[in-house]
Chain A
Amino acid sequence: MSANAIIFDQVTKNFGTVHAVDKVSLTFPRGALVTLLGPSGCGKTTTLRLIAGLELPNAGSIMIEGRDVTRLAAAERRIAMVFQSYALFPHMNVLENVAYGLVVQGARKASAEADAIAMLNTLGLEGLGQRLPSELSGGQQQRVAVARALVLRPQVLLFDEPLSNLDARLRRQVREDIRDLQKRLGLTVVYVTHDQQEALAVSDLVCVMRAGKIAQMGTPREVYDEPADAFIADFMGEANVLEGEVLGPGRILLAGVALETRLRPQPPGAALFAIRPEAVSLHGEGEGLPGQIKRAAFLGQTHEYEVATPAGQIFIVAPAGAPVFAPGDEVRCRVERAIALRQVGQ
């Protein structure tokens, strides 16, 4: 028995002429929270729905916990899903909503309700059983949706952009809650979002998708610090993409200026560098790439600068304590850390 809860093998899903999911093969380890991340249209939601059984693949196979579910409808798979809109049944109260899955699968009403009440208590929703969904707050509704999914003891729990309907303050709290719950129960979770911050915060593994294919899959750190190409680098956080040259270990050349920087070992030669905005420090004089401040903005916790340099326009985020500059100032940019994407010409 493999340690993988879900295995995709060359799965393809087409809508008309569009390849929403294009020969995708990937594995989801048991007990891990894997996030599908990417811009809209990349295929992440389709992949989620393929796991759920709400779409059936045109080609390839899907295995869930060792069982071939490729041709099975959603009702026959042991999965549960929390929808973006929560999809709580408006004509049933909270208790009936949570007990729904059990009742539909044949449990007797009394035992189903008992299980439902237990789950509501677990999620901090005591006493809300008789309320209607419309009488609950956004956060509470979301928890009811989760309770409803969990009470079925699914093999896989799916989340479709669960935080997008919540206001910003609530988002952090809820995402922590989801992560805690997942770790506590050892659930296999597949999580879809377009927000890379969210993805980095909650995931064991991040799977970046683009145009129906997997661009990169790895731990959050791997994907952030070692993006496979410029697209991923830019998607995972702002990245300044500049052409230059690797001179040797820790030494790069940008626009004719040699710079000391931290860099993973690379063979010398032409290269494309992704440089994070927070990985550049600004100084009035001394070493570094010369440049002039074009725009400056004060954001409370950070300062943001746009600096024109011979290597191109660079976007820089400086922490609160750093020296402050104004537009027009001449500065020196020191690159603390650079990511080599690929050798130019490769």
Chain B
Amino acid sequence: MGALRLARLALLCAALGLLLPWHGLEDGFKELRAWPLGDAAPLPILLGTGIRWWLWLLPCLLLLGAGAALGKRANSVLLLLAGGGMIFWVFLMGEAIGLRGLEWQWLGPWLGDAPPQPSLGWGALFLLIGATGFLAAGFAAQGGFRGDAFIAFLVIGSGFLLLLFVFAPLTTILLAAVYEGKAFAPSALIARLSAPEAWSLACLSTHQGCGVVWNTLLLATLTAAISTAIGLFFALLAVRGGMRAGPLFRAMTLLPLITPPFVVAMALIVLFGRTGIVTTLLWEWFAIPRSRWIYGLPGVLLAQVLAQAPIAFLLLDGALRAISPSLEEASSTMGARRFTVFRTVTWPLLRPALAAAFLLGFVESLADFGNPLVLGGDFDVLSTRIFFAIAGARHDPGRAAALALLLLFLTFGAFALQALWLGKRRYTTVTGKGDSGLPAPLPKGLKFTAAAVVWPWIIFTAVVYGIILVGGFVHDIGRGDMSFTWRHLITAFEVEWQDGVALRGSAWDSLLTTLEVAAISAPLTAGLGILLAWLIARQEFRGRRLLEFMTMLSFAIPGTVVGVSYIMAFNVPPVELTGTALILILCFVFRNLPVGVRGGIAALAQIDRSLDEASATMGASAVQTLRRVVLPLMRPAIITALAFSFVHAMTAVSAVIFLVSARHNLATVYIVGRVEAGEMALAIAYSTALILIMLAVVLGIEKFVGRAEIARRAGGAPPPTATRAGA
């Protein structure tokens, strides 16, 4: 699309923005009835009545842009000025003048006494979209983006979205770390970062707790190591163990994907808590005293490993399969015995995958919030500490921000390590090039060890999930009362038939909201993610790497940090979103975006570039190529991204626990509340319902696509699609 055409479309959009209500509306329809006066006033009225006189610059810039758009040739300088200027001015004024009038006091002499300014609304949104269009047209007219203005618009638009919803909140929270109250105090930052609550090593010498950073590191390392080991044993048995256990193992890998955050922790309490089933049995049979060992590091570790081991298995399974058997055959024909073959050929080839599984487990543990919250006891980790710094009685955003910085630092460190170590090496995924060799059987000792780990683990997992299934249907599993009842399900999901359907159960509100939010955010996530993947992988423009970096940024930020930063950034104008469903949707979209992007990039890697080029040589524009050639071939990736995003949205808790409001509660947060109040049975019943819903969605999608490989957060194995081009 040419620059001129885009500029004209942008003009149309901006003109529409002048007609719509400029500011955000509280009550929707009620205020709209007063249009064009009152709260729903569009910009021209606001200017005419002199209320928002500082916004006069906007129509001036718009005229500039209009002049450029309606001319014969696109004047890039004017377009850039108009577009960039409008965006800059809207946000500058939005920051400078807020709900209580002038925020930036130093502007007082020039602006005088400004009346309070509420947040931006539909009118401002359309104007900003138009301004983005101008900006994109300007760049395209200058030759950037190969002259394709629509691509320019997509890139700049997504860049802005990322800036606004990933980068800006992050900056807000980082800034909060340097502020003490209202005063800028960098020394406070240093003090907070080096606080003993974070770094103390007291636990080594006394019974006091250690600094929270050490706790976090310890937990993460242990989780990563143990889950990788267990995953390795599973993989060894599945691929080389000569058993038909493959389908069973694969079924297990589904579980962590569809399990809401606290379920496993609750089941562990029911099993191993002070009055747990196993604890009671041990006491009655073996007189082993009951203790609270499950609360603290052991419990959290157990829960995290239960969740992480299947992911490690997926990674290592893929890697083991990719090791060409002929390598091992060569080794054994040269006289090496089974164990030597394993040690000298198989193990070194597995190292990259092992490192990847370890790092993934490490990062997941850092971000985990639900398990430490329920099972942590006195063992505090960074994510829970951040939460309490905000939600506890000693509300201290500065401290929370400093802790968030530390957590970010750890996460980024892990990613940097991964990029450094693994960046160049790709453990190859074989695409059906038949390597006809038989995989070497495992050395006996190893096989035995693996079986000794794997089968008990499977039984243990089955028991845990059995508790979950059963717990919702018995009276009080916490107290061992196992009489069957529908009571909990009724409390949660009661439906009354009385003048139509009335949903009386306490869980309906949150369930419906959750389903609604997940259903809305999933296509947005998948769509934006695939779009970004396509822009990053297939288009060339300056700033491509930057776009990619910003996309991946949200992947690395732990959930609690995101949640806190969103309330800090979006509670006040210019962009005011707290208390709405929109903030939940946005949070999900931008948090799960990397899933769609990684899946998209992996799928695109399977599609030969010559297909794009052939389409181009036949006269198709980039967008036509996307629509007709690339997207149809990416269907499995799109569907996988959809399933993924939906399920992630259903099970998210750490980010959204801050963002729920009276009107928009989420299932996971509701469940936390029940766990807090000790209502295990209700919580478990609700969780079971969630699991069943998600299982239905995931299985339904898997049937739809065929055999879609769903790897959580690993952006892992690309879907096997038949996309070998042409010959």
- Complex Cα spacing A138 to B724, Å: 13
Query: A344: shortest Cβ distance to chain B, in Å?
Result: 47
Question: Which stretch from A76-84, A121-129, A198-206, A229-237 is at the chain B interface?
Answer: A76-84
Contact, CB under 8 Å: B611 / A87: yes
Contact, CB under 8 Å: A152 / B727: no
Q: Is A8 part of the binding interface, using a Cβ–Cβ cutoff of 8 Å? A: no
Contact, CB under 8 Å: B725 / A87: yes
Contact, CB under 8 Å: A90 / B726: yes
Residue of B143, B610, B614, B724 with highest tally of chain A CB at under 10 A = B614
Which residue in B146, B620, B629, B727 is a CB contact (below 8 Å) of A141? B727
Contact, CB under 8 Å: A54 / B616: yes
Contact, CB under 8 Å: A74 / B725: no
Which residue in B148, B619, B722 is a CB contact (below 8 Å) of A152? B619
Inter-chain residue pair count (beta carbon < 8 A)? 95
Which residue in A85, A88, A89, A105 is a CB contact (below 8 Å) of B619? A105
- CB contact list, B624-658 vs A, under 8 A: 624, 628-629, 632-633
Q: Is A332 part of the binding interface, using a Cβ–Cβ cutoff of 8 Å? A: no
Hey, which chain A residues are within 8 Å of B615, CB to CB? 89, 100, 104
Per-residue interface assignment for chain A, residues 43 to 67, with 1 indicating a CB less than 8 Å from any chain B CB and 0 otherwise: 0000000001110100000000000
- Complex Cα spacing A283 to B488, Å: 105
Hey, which chain A residues are within 8 Å of B256, CB to CB? none
Contact, CB under 8 Å: A75 / B610: no
Contact, CB under 8 Å: A134 / B613: no
- Complex Cα spacing A88 to B621, Å: 18
Contact, CB under 8 Å: B726 / A75: no
Contact A73 B610, CB 8 Å, known A86-B726, A88-B726:
no
Contact, CB under 8 Å: B618 / A100: yes
Contact, CB under 8 Å: B608 / A87: yes
Q: Is B723 part of the binding interface, using a Cβ–Cβ cutoff of 8 Å? A: yes
Which residue in B148, B614, B633 is a CB contact (below 8 Å) of A87? B614
Q: Is B147 part of the binding interface, using a Cβ–Cβ cutoff of 8 Å? A: yes
Q: Which residue of B lies closest to A74 (CB)?
A: B616
Q: Is A184 part of the binding interface, using a Cβ–Cβ cutoff of 8 Å? A: no
Contact, CB under 8 Å: A90 / B722: yes
Contact, CB under 8 Å: A90 / B633: yes
Contact, CB under 8 Å: B618 / A101: yes
Q: Which residue of A lies closest to B723 (CB)?
A: A90
Q: Which residue of B lies closest to A80 (CB)?
A: B617
- CB contact list, A128-148 vs B, under 8 A: 133-134, 138, 141-142, 145, 148
Contact, CB under 8 Å: B616 / A73: yes
- Complex Cα spacing A81 to B629, Å: 17
Query: A13: shortest Cβ distance to chain B, in Å?
Result: 14
Contact, CB under 8 Å: A75 / B727: no
Q: Which residue of A lies closest to B632 (CB)?
A: A91
Q: Is A165 part of the binding interface, using a Cβ–Cβ cutoff of 8 Å? A: yes
Contact, CB under 8 Å: B725 / A75: no
- Complex Cα spacing A91 to B148, Å: 26
Q: Which residue of A lies closest to B146 (CB)?
A: A73
- CB contact list, B98-151 vs A, under 8 A: 143, 146-148
Query: A112: shortest Cβ distance to chain B, in Å?
Result: 12
Contact, CB under 8 Å: A104 / B722: no
Contact A83 B614, CB 8 Å, known A75-B619, A101-B619:
yes
Q: Which residue of A lies closest to B614 (CB)?
A: A87
Hey, which chain B residues are within 8 Å of A91, CB to CB? 632-633
Which residue in A80, A83, A90, A104 is a CB contact (below 8 Å) of B628? A104
Hey, which chain A residues are within 8 Å of B632, CB to CB? 91
Contact, CB under 8 Å: B725 / A81: no
Query: A93: shortest Cβ distance to chain B, in Å?
Result: 13
Per-residue interface assignment for chain B, residues 692 to 727, with 1 indicating a CB less than 8 Å from any chain A CB and 0 otherwise: 000000000000000000000000000000111111
- CB contact list, B179-193 vs A, under 8 A: none
Query: B197: shortest Cβ distance to chain A, in Å?
Result: 50
- Complex Cα spacing A74 to B615, Å: 9
Contact A104 B617, CB 8 Å, known A88-B725, A90-B725, A134-B722:
no
Contact, CB under 8 Å: B608 / A85: yes
Hey, which chain B residues are within 8 Å of A54, CB to CB? 613, 616-617
- CB contact list, A82-117 vs B, under 8 A: 83-91, 100-101, 104-105
Hey, which chain B residues are within 8 Å of A84, CB to CB? 610
Q: Which residue of A lies closest to B722 (CB)?
A: A90
Q: Which residue of B lies closest to A72 (CB)?
A: B147
Contact, CB under 8 Å: A148 / B726: no
Contact A148 B618, CB 8 Å, known A90-B723, A104-B628:
yes
Q: Which residue of B lies closest to A96 (CB)?
A: B628
Hey, which chain A residues are within 8 Å of B616, CB to CB? 53-54, 73-75
Hey, which chain A residues are within 8 Å of B725, CB to CB? 85-88, 90
Hey, which chain A residues are within 8 Å of B147, CB to CB? 71, 73
Contact, CB under 8 Å: A104 / B619: yes
Hey, which chain B residues are within 8 Å of A75, CB to CB? 616-621
Hey, which chain B residues are within 8 Å of A88, CB to CB? 725-726
Which residue in B146, B613, B724 is a CB contact (below 8 Å) of A90? B724
Contact, CB under 8 Å: B726 / A79: no
Contact A87 B610, CB 8 Å, known A73-B146, A133-B726, A145-B726:
yes
- Complex Cα spacing A79 to B616, Å: 10
Contact, CB under 8 Å: B608 / A81: no
Which residue in B143, B621, B629, B727 is a CB contact (below 8 Å) of A85? B727
- Complex Cα spacing A134 to B632, Å: 16
Which residue in B722, B723, B727 is a CB contact (below 8 Å) of A165? B727
Contact, CB under 8 Å: A141 / B726: yes
Q: Which residue of A lies closest to B621 (CB)?
A: A75
Hey, which chain B residues are within 8 Å of A74, CB to CB? 613, 616-617
Hey, which chain A residues are within 8 Å of B146, CB to CB? 56, 73
Contact A104 B624, CB 8 Å, known A83-B614, A89-B629, A145-B726:
yes
- Complex Cα spacing A105 to B615, Å: 11
- Complex Cα spacing A88 to B628, Å: 13
- CB contact list, B140-190 vs A, under 8 A: 143, 146-148
- Complex Cα spacing A3 to B147, Å: 31
- Complex Cα spacing A109 to B672, Å: 58
- Complex Cα spacing A85 to B629, Å: 16
Q: Which residue of A lies closest to B610 (CB)?
A: A87
Query: B289: shortest Cβ distance to chain A, in Å?
Result: 66
Query: A122: shortest Cβ distance to chain B, in Å?
Result: 18
- Complex Cα spacing A133 to B632, Å: 16
- Complex Cα spacing A133 to B727, Å: 8
Contact, CB under 8 Å: B619 / A87: no
- Complex Cα spacing A90 to B727, Å: 10
Q: Which residue of B lies closest to A152 (CB)?
A: B618
Contact, CB under 8 Å: B617 / A52: yes
Contact, CB under 8 Å: A104 / B620: yes
Q: Which residue of B lies closest to A166 (CB)?
A: B727
- Complex Cα spacing A88 to B618, Å: 12
Hey, which chain A residues are within 8 Å of B608, CB to CB? 85, 87
Contact, CB under 8 Å: A85 / B610: yes
- Complex Cα spacing A88 to B610, Å: 9
Beyond A86-B727, A100-B628, 9 additional contacts (C-beta under 8 Å) are A71-B143, A73-B148, A73-B616, A81-B613, A81-B617, A88-B726, A104-B619, A134-B722, A148-B614
Top 9 A-B pairs, shortest CB-CB distance:
A86-B726, A101-B618, A87-B614, A88-B726, A87-B610, A74-B616, A104-B620, A105-B619, A81-B617
14 examples of A-B residue contacts, CB within 8 angstroms: A52-B617, A53-B617, A74-B613, A79-B617, A80-B618, A81-B614, A83-B613, A85-B610, A89-B615, A100-B628, A101-B620, A105-B619, A134-B722, A149-B617
* Interfacial residues, chain A to chain B (CB-CB below 8 A): 52-54, 56, 71, 73-76, 79-81, 83-91, 100-101, 104-105, 133-134, 138, 141-142, 145, 148-149, 152, 158, 165
